[in-house]
Structure 1
């Protein structure tokens, strides 16, 4: 069978068996700043870019409660490989803003996926590899459902985090008091998550200081709560989908229109669930990185970058 992804053995050989994934070998990159703006019908995106403009594009999607700065050590590795790096601040984060005050602050998969497709549309990019971690991985996967022909490959790291549904999550996202805490103390709560989900990695206070202002976005708490409710309490009135996404919502319960090659990565020390195998329908390579936490692009940037480069090199590009 002609697969768009190399065999597991070939992939491991290409990436050096991911031996460089150990946190001790972290590559330190310059700060990744969202200095550019582009508008879609719904959002004005703030984003960062690196690498040659004629390179194959890779869209990097950060987790909720993190930021594009998480990719600061990944971006130079991709750029050095000739990749065009695009890192948007997702809805509810950083300087990205809704254009209309009346637009629902949705966190549903259809909205997140459409955001990324709209983002590459606005930049006149016909297709891309989408790579993310946590809820960013969920957004990357959702983009492949919304417009599968625009997605050359998927890199999904720590995607199982979206299935955390313990007492802490229920309090934060499904109670009035919890949502108030999310709105008034987002930095405290995010700091707790960073420590909890990366227990073996030293807490990077300098990086957190770069990321944390992004939680001051006025829509941060609403988007996070809506995302969690839409997945874990879809019948909650506060989890209602956007009417304009009704047709897109149906795509998420239908068989995949096109198999898409994927690489899935999990940090062995994150404590978060692994993404289910049926999350992707095309050829898939899965790796667990021992000792690595959830903040995988920061803790293991070379492994993350190598996986993205493998998808770029082995993807079936139409253009």
Structure 2
């Protein structure tokens, strides 16, 4: 029997940062519509939303899309909010007897910016485009920013790594694409100039190899390498208790924004104008410093690439390390 409470499915399959960015929609839909909110994502990202108190149930995408659709049909949703918007979500929406809403992906504007450097992109964050997409629901942005929730029973001992809350800087070196990863020479120059304890995080073999290189060649005696040794939640906890976060255009950058951490974001071939910069809608103080190299060839991709199309990778290699160091070393209360 269907209750009087409206039942809403929100869809975002991947990845870390993109899912974290959906959190204001989840929160506002739940609170303003008193809705029962379900979330559909890939199994590997389920942990990102499992402990969100605004989500009543998490569904995972099956290998067979028809199986997923059959399971979702049993829920009798009133509304679907599609925050992924691809062929699979189109098939899901077509199969369901529910009103649906989505958002403008501004793909034409992105294509013009990448290929001809003509900028017709809206001057707004992706979160704000999401809210425009569901405006007919009369749900408004509460300007409370992003959320990231750890399990109630979660624990992590900072002292086991000789770390103290608020006394270290997290350096996130990961990235799905090569052109979004900070090169080792830039990372090493940064680490060696910092006068603070630094914790390196990341995941996967490539990040682990790079972190080992940094550990072996760094002169910073307060460097802690936790790369490929932590879960996403453990990395999030480290970020939550850090003094500052230095990151490329990655999911960890958005988790840092969810915890209102000061962020030094280092951009490569992607661009903040795509709407995926650190989201601080209500903060009057400047928590976000976005470092970019002004090049005629940038951006050369909206997502990232396996290599620099022109071979020089100057969008990363020419960053002003001293400026980043100055911002990090100016944090009060850290030694």
Q: Give the structure with higher Rg (CA).
A: 2
Structure with the largest fraction of helix: 1
Is the TM-score greater than 0.5? no
Please give the TM-score of this superposition, normalised by the length of structure 1: 0.30
* Larger relative contact order (CA 8 Å, sep ≥ 6): 1
Please give the TM-score of this superposition, normalised by the length of structure 2: 0.29
